[in-house]
């Protein structure tokens, strides 16, 4: 009798262990997250007044909850912001502090923070995995090699050459690009293609991913509005036409998602706002003149004591020796002189305590915020002046997040989400924990609590 009881207990333990290893059904609704790079909240909330026809985006204003503006991170750039949208943490904590990696000698061929291993924080993909949801991704920033993405089409490029297509194919989930290309009878968009045709291709691939795999959590990133606003400025007729087309793409993706996941929560976000620009500021010029940057005979940077790191409408300033008081004082004096010169277009210079309070780059000893209308240039060469016309760029972001022009967008709808709920201005760090809760998961390290989106 005792022996029979012992065997039963052993079998029960084995069965329980096997059950624990089996995948469980999802505990909450699926989530679809679409990002429209550079979407200003006023373009949705005031669409009619601005002459915009956006039926799919404006529907969220009555069928779901929305923010009148999202206060972003330092800097208000694509890659830091998208990582905050996925983690609920500031750049100081997740580590994606700019679009481009720190490269003072300019040997990385303008490399970006493409690789997920540079993100130190827990992501929504991780949270979805813990909630037993499958996951998908189409072109989201900082997604190369991202863990817990079941079907991954990451964003990466190097030169714009056709070989970039091979790079994306090699770094995507094995076989996924070829599978969807065969289904759609069209090639996937080049990694560096930020145009509207590129968005149309990626939106189509997102629809195919939903039809054939039904990921429980899917991220989709659309780039063309940002691209157009850089070229022709925010609010330009070209930008408006681009946004109206993107609205249709969003509607197409949502329609397919609803076919397979009628209970899905759907969110649309953006990473930053936009400001018109007409001036480029080349902070490398005064740093070279002050002997803080050395340039060789060919014009290449050969050494540095302190260097600007361009981040759109601002510059992080990094010291080669942060503990060198004399070097720090020299850079501080230079920046004070520049800030007093109207030609430098500097709105504000902050130091480490304020950078830390803003959640910005912990490597920066100083952060320079330019006046709206000016854009920070990367290194252009030893002979370029402090300022020059911004001929190729009519719109920019990357300024400090306090500027109202830098506000971004948050829209959310689905079963269980309050209708016509005006959330007011929100902190970008609150979005990820809100989406985690919607999928039945948590992001314990998020810096803000979930938003009040329930009825």
In the predicted structure, residue 435 carries a pLDDT above the cut 80? yes
Provide the β-strand partners of residue 69: 425
Enter the pTM of the model: 0.93
What is the CA angle 180-82-76, rounded to 5?
A: 140
pLDDT band at 17 (very low <50, low <70, confident <90, very high): very low
User: What integer is the mean pLDDT of 104-112?
Assistant: 94
Alpha-carbon distance of 115 to 108, in angstroms, equals 14
The pLDDT of residue 454: 85
In the predicted structure, residue 3 carries a pLDDT above the cut 50? no
Residue 100 DSSP label: B
pLDDT in tens, 19-66: 333 333 345 689 999 999 999 999 999 999 999 999 999 999 999 999
Residues 188, 180 contacting (CB under 8 angstroms): yes
User: What integer is the mean pLDDT of 101-114?
Assistant: 96
In the predicted structure, residue 336 carries a pLDDT above the cut 80? yes
The topology (CATH level 3) of 31-274+404-438 is: Alkaline Phosphatase, subunit A (3.40.720)
Domain boundaries, the chain: 31-274+404-438, 279-392
The pLDDT of residue 14: 37
Could you give the 3-state DSSP secondary structure of residue 98? coil
Asked whether the bond before 75 is cis by omega within 30 degrees of 0, the reply is: yes
The burial class, CB within 10 Å (0-12 / 13-18 / 19+), for 445 is middle
The CA R_g of the chain, rounded to the nearest whole Å, is: 24
Alpha-carbon distance of 123 to 436, in angstroms, equals 9
The pLDDT of residue 202: 98
The burial class, CB within 10 Å (0-12 / 13-18 / 19+), for 385 is exposed
User: What integer is the mean pLDDT of 334-344?
Assistant: 97
Q: Which of 255, 193, 181, 196 is closest to 32 using CA atoms? A: 255
The pLDDT of residue 258: 98
Alpha-carbon distance of 85 to 76, in angstroms, equals 12
Q: Are strands 31-36 and 265-269 parallel, antiparallel or unpaired?
A: parallel
Q: Which of 138, 212, 144 is closest to 182 using CA atoms? A: 212
Average per-residue pLDDT for the chain:
94
In the predicted structure, residue 13 carries a pLDDT above the cut 60? no
* H or E stretch covering 441: none
Q: Are strands 64-66 and 421-422 parallel, antiparallel or unpaired?
A: parallel
In the predicted structure, residue 2 carries a pLDDT above the cut 60? no
What is the CA angle 371-376-382, rounded to 5?
A: 130
| Six-digit token string for 366 | 């100083």
Say which CATH class 279-392 falls into.
alpha beta
Q: Which residues contact 77 (CB under 8 A, 6 or more apart)?
A: 98, 99, 271, 272, 311, 312, 397, 398
User: What integer is the mean pLDDT of 72-92?
Assistant: 98
In the predicted structure, residue 314 carries a pLDDT above the cut 50? yes
């Amino acid at each position: 009798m005792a022996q029979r009881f012992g065997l039963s207990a052993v079998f029960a333990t084995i069965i329980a262990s096997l059950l624990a290893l089996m995948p469980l059904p999802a505990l909450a609704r699926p989530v679809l997250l679409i990002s429209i790079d550079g979407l200003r909240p006023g373009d949705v909330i005031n669409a009619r007044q601005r002459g915009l026809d956006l039926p799919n985006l404006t529907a969220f204003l009555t069928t779901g909850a929305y923010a009148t503006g999202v206060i972003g991170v330092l800097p208000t750039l694509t890659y830091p912001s998208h990582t905050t949208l996925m983690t609920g943490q500031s750049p100081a904590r997740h580590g994606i502090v700019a679009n481009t990696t720190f490269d003072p000698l300019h040997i990385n061929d303008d490399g970006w923070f493409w690789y997920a291993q540079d993100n130190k924080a827990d992501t929504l993909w991780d949270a979805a995995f813990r909630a037993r949801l499958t996951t998908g991704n189409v072109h989201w920033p900082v997604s190369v090699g991202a863990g817990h993405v079941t079907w991954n089409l990451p964003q990466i490029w190097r030169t714009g050459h056709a070989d970039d297509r091979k790079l994306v194919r090699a770094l995507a989930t094995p076989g996924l690009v070829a599978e969807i290309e065969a289904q759609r009878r069209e090639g996937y968009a080049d990694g560096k293609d930020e145009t509207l045709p590129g968005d149309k291709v990626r939106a189509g691939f997102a629809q195919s991913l939903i039809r054939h795999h039904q990921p429980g959590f899917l991220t989709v990133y659309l780039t063309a509005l940002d691209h157009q606003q850089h070229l022709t400025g925010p609010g330009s007729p070209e930008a408006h036409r681009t946004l109206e087309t993107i609205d249709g793409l969003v509607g197409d993706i949502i329609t397919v998602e609803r076919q397979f996941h009628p209970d899905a929560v759907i969110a649309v976000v953006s990473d930053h706002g936009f400001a018109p620009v007409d001036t480029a500021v080349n902070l490398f010029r005064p740093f070279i003149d002050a002997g803080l940057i050395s340039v060789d005979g060919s014009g290449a940077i050969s050494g540095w004591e302190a260097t600007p790191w361009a981040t759109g409408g601002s510059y992080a300033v990094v010291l080669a020796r942060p503990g060198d008081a004399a070097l720090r004082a020299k850079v501080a004096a230079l920046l004070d002189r520049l800030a007093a010169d109207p030609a430098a277009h500097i709105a504000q210079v902050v130091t480490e305590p304020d950078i830390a309070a803003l959640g910005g780059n912990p490597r920066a000893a100083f952060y320079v915020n330019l006046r709206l209308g000016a854009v920070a240039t990367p290194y252009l060469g030893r002979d370029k002046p402090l300022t020059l016309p911004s001929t190729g760029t009519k719109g920019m972001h990357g300024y400090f997040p306090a500027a109202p022009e830098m506000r971004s967008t948050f829209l959310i709808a689905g079963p269980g989400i309050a209708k016509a709920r005006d959330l007011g201005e929100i902190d970008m760090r609150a979005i990820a924990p809100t989406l985690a809760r919607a999928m039945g998961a948590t992001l314990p390290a998020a810096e803000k609590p979930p938003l009040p989106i329930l009825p």
